[in-house]
């Protein structure tokens, strides 16, 4: 793991991954949208309103996945003082916040015709909202101190504390009586969604994942460049 603390070595890996991830997004995004909007049948109860799940569900999955990336990077930064782990976690945070915000907004759009309201203090919705605030808190803490190391440490501690919210989000529909429907894909008994709707959903989930990889690589490069410029400015002064 420590071999990847070298920005040049990590940069070579990112340069190799980026074109493939970008090609995946360019090729699969139109396919996923076509499958979701044209090929997939309307839901037998919700009609075409259910098509928003092809954005909502992948966004919700990514909200959880990106937080795991941040928590893992934060742990590596705190325990092993791994500089690239902190940079990766910091680069991922705005993306996670964006995915979480998208999940909340699309969920509200779906909830209005289905539940008759934009928002309810449902256990799933409330815990995802807390996740959104955790993302914002992480971003704010990173820039809240004059000493960058103190800010990184405080943000990393918050990220690790916030991990307790992830199982609450996942199992909230099982632990409490909520309006949100129970898991229909990531469940022990297997998916309950028909293949005609499952494959478009999985394709869109892959598009979201590849998009995250692309933008994460660009943000890591940006933070590394900012770090080099700050180091050069310090040396000159």
> Which pLDDT score is estimated for 207?
98
Residues forming a β-bridge with 43: 47
Its domain, for residue 164, covers 2-236
Please tell me the distance from the alpha carbon of residue 127 to that of residue 119, in angstroms, as a whole number: 13
Could you report the per-residue pLDDT of 108-120, keeping only the tens digit for each?
Answer: 998 888 888 888 8
Please tell me the distance from the alpha carbon of residue 54 to that of residue 36, in angstroms, as a whole number: 6
Q: Quick check: 59 pLDDT over 80?
A: yes
Q: Which of 39, 56, 77, 49 is nearest to 154 (CA)?
A: 77
> Which pLDDT score is estimated for 200?
94
For residue 43, what pLDDT band results from cuts at 50, 70 and 90?
A: confident
CA distances to 22, 41, 200 from 34, rounded to whole Å, are 19, 12, 8
Residues forming a β-bridge with 47: 43
Which residues have CB under 8 Å from 13's CB, separation 6+? 4
Q: Distance between alpha carbon 85 and the CA centroid of its chain, in Å?
A: 16
Count up the domains in the chain and report the number: 1
Please tell me the distance from the alpha carbon of residue 180 to that of residue 194, in angstroms, as a whole number: 20
SS (H, E, C) 95-129: HHHHHHHHHHHHHHHHHHHHHCCCCCCCHHHHHHH
For residues 176 and 186, the answer to whether their CB atoms sit within 8 Å is: no
pLDDT (average), residues 161-171: 94
For residues 151 and 144, the answer to whether their CB atoms sit within 8 Å is: yes
Q: b/e per residue, 35-63, with b = 16+ CB within 10 A?
A: bbeeebeeeeeeeeebbbbbbbbbbbbbb
Residue 62's domain is classified under what CATH number? 1.20.120
> Which pLDDT score is estimated for 4?
56
pTM over 0.85: yes
For residues 204 and 53, the answer to whether their CB atoms sit within 8 Å is: no
Q: Which of 214, 182, 188, 185 is nearest to 199 (CA)?
A: 185
Q: Quick check: 231 pLDDT over 80?
A: no
């Amino acid at each position: 793991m420590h071999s990847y603390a070298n920005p040049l070595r990590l940069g070579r890996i990112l340069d190799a991954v980026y074109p493939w991830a970008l090609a995946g997004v360019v090729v699969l995004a139109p396919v996923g949208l076509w499958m979701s909007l044209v090929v997939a049948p309307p839901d037998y109860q919700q009609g075409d309103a259910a098509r928003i799940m092809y954005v909502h569900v992948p966004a919700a999955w990514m909200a959880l996945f990106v937080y795991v990336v941040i928590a893992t990077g934060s742990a590596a930064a705190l325990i092993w003082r791994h500089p690239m782990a902190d940079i990766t976690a910091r680069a991922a945070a705005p993306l996670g916040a964006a995915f979480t915000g998208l999940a909340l907004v699309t969920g509200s759009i779906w909830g209005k015709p289905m539940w008759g309201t934009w928002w309810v203090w449902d256990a799933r919705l409330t815990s995802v909202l807390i996740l959104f605030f955790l993302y914002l808190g992480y971003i704010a803490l990173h820039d809240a101190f004059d000493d960058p190391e103190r800010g990184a440490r405080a943000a990393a501690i918050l990220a690790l504390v916030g991990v307790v919210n992830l199982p609450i989000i996942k199992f909230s529909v099982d632990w409490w009586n909520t309006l949100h429907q129970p898991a229909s894909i990531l469940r022990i008994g297997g998916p309950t969604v028909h293949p005609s709707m499952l494959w478009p959903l999985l394709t869109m989930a892959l598009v979201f994942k590849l998009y995250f990889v692309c933008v994460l690589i660009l943000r890591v490069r940006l933070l590394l460049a900012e770090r080099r410029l700050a180091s050069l400015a310090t040396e000159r002064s």
